[in-house]
Amino acid sequence: MLLSGDDSGGGMGTQCLERYWSAPWNLLDLEGESVNEEGSLQLREDIPQSLESRGFEIVFCWIPSHVGIPGNEKADNAARLGSVPLEHAVPYSDMCQIVRQKVINNWQELWNEQIHNKLHNVKPVLANWPTLPYRKADAILTRLRIGHTRYTHRCLLFQEPIPMCTSCNIPNTVDHILTKCHSFNSHRLRFFNSNFLDLRTLLGEKPHPNLFAFLRNIGFISQI
């Protein structure tokens, strides 16, 4: 608190302050239990009134008393943070992308456990694969990928015996026909330049460019 006014009367301002400073209810007593709320209020009213009646102008100024006190400085910093503008909210589209990626990650973890699933061998990593420009060709490719064709699964529909490979004497499956049957070794060499193939190479995200030519040549495409 700063005082300004006529102090020519032998240090009247100083004497006035000293009188109130040494009064029973001085400022330090406000922290104790000896002064009740009513007394504190009266003291706060009496000091300014008495000084103003003597021609003093009272100006209140803030003194950084918190400086150097760790706890108070933390409180000041916390108060200042409250006035800092908040960062831009996360856009709805970004939140959707985060949630979607989380779902895909969980789905991928479950898919990794499906090692005996026929499609897992073809598509071990979940992703959107492009479709073929022609619907019929895309349907054939999809049936090969999931391992369900008319030839290999008609037995389930018509209660017929499981189709057997006459050359290898084992059940005929998409995997056996495309990659393992010895009857088609020469055809694989012709169209794929190899007899050591897997379904991922032939039916993966980018199917082998000679896949449909191979299927026509061995007479299997019409039975898919």
Res. 86: pLDDT tops 70: no
Q: Is residue 15 part of a domain?
A: no
CA 171, 175, 180, 183 torsion: positive or negative?
Answer: positive
Q: Is residue 75 part of a domain?
A: yes
The answer on 142 and 214 residing in a single domain is: yes
- Counting the structural domains of the chain, the total is 2
Find the domain containing 51 and state its range.
46-79
pLDDT for the residue numbered 40: 64
Contacts of 220 (CB under 8 A, 6+ apart): 151, 177
Over the stretch 99-139, which tens digit does the pLDDT of each residue have?
999 999 999 999 999 988 888 989 999 999 999 999 999 99
Over the stretch 147-191, which tens digit does the pLDDT of each residue have?
999 999 888 888 888 899 999 999 999 999 999 999 999 999 999
Most confident of 36-50, 59-73, 80-94: 80-94
Do residues 187 and 217 lie in contact, with contact meaning Cβ atoms separated by under 8 Å? Answer: yes
Q: Is residue 183 part of a domain?
A: yes
Partners of residue 59 on adjacent β-strands: 2
Partners of residue 58 on adjacent β-strands: 3
Res. 10: pLDDT tops 50: no
C-alpha span between 158 and 192 (Å, rounded): 34
Q: Is residue 187 part of a domain?
A: yes
The answer on 197 and 136 residing in a single domain is: yes
Q: Is residue 64 part of a domain?
A: yes
